[in-house]
Amino acid sequence: MANLISESEFPIYSMDYIKTNRHWISAYGGFNGLSPYYAEDARTGLTLPNCVPFVYGYWHCLGDCTRPKELDLSPYNANSFYGHNDGYERSATVPKVGAIICWSGGSDGYGHVAIVTSVKQNRDGTYTINTLNSAYKSTMYYERKLTSPFNFKSYTCQGFIYCPFVTDSDQSAVTNEIRPIDLLVGLISFVKHLIDKYYQE
């Protein structure tokens, strides 16, 4: 188990760092192998731009993981993450630093995932967060600020998967409960992946 990181010491990895880090570069030149569904982008030599390998790489880096697929996160589309039975603590509404925020929806229906880098609770009880993102075949690396309920464009926030490598002082909102709707979304995404794979072969 890696040493735990406190929220106050949470690292913001730069694009320059990511470009040379084994957790994001090609499986042939580095570590990658994070997901059977996502491969190297020939234009960049990285698994990026792509939100799924971005969050995989971030957590692998935080945990100083030593082998591919060491995490139990969903290996499929972003909209399957929150409903995936990975054993990590989560909350549908309460963000934490280091967490993966998960969305369903989007123009292609595949959803989106990102890394929460800061959290501020507002006077009205809502939260404002900063996130780091990567967009499939689009923007390599960018930030986005959001406020509860964290929806944007056609994306609907499903919740937060808490990072096992980051500690905090408030565990009151932690739950392992997965809503039935999230399990359904994950199942649909998995079936669609199998269908896509069948027609590609």
CATH number of the CATH domain containing 43: 3.90.1720.10
- Residue 195 belongs to domain spanning: 5-166+175-200
* pLDDT per position as a tens digit, 83-124: 998 899 999 999 999 999 999 999 889 999 999 999 999 999
Per-residue pLDDT, 104? 96
Detail the DSSP E strand segments found in the chain: 5-6, 90-91, 100-105, 112-121, 127-133, 142-147, 155-161, 166-167
- Provide the CA 139 distance to its chain's centre, in angstroms: 16
Query: Poorest-confidence range of 24-28, 62-66, 190-194?
Result: 24-28
Domain count, the chain: 1
Query: Poorest-confidence range of 28-42, 126-140, 145-159?
Result: 28-42
pTM for the predicted model, two decimal places: 0.78
Q: How many residues are given for the chain?
A: 201
| Coil, helix or strand at residue 17 | helix
- Name the residue with tokens 């939260």: 127
Query: What percent of the chain is predicted at pLDDT more than 70?
Result: 71
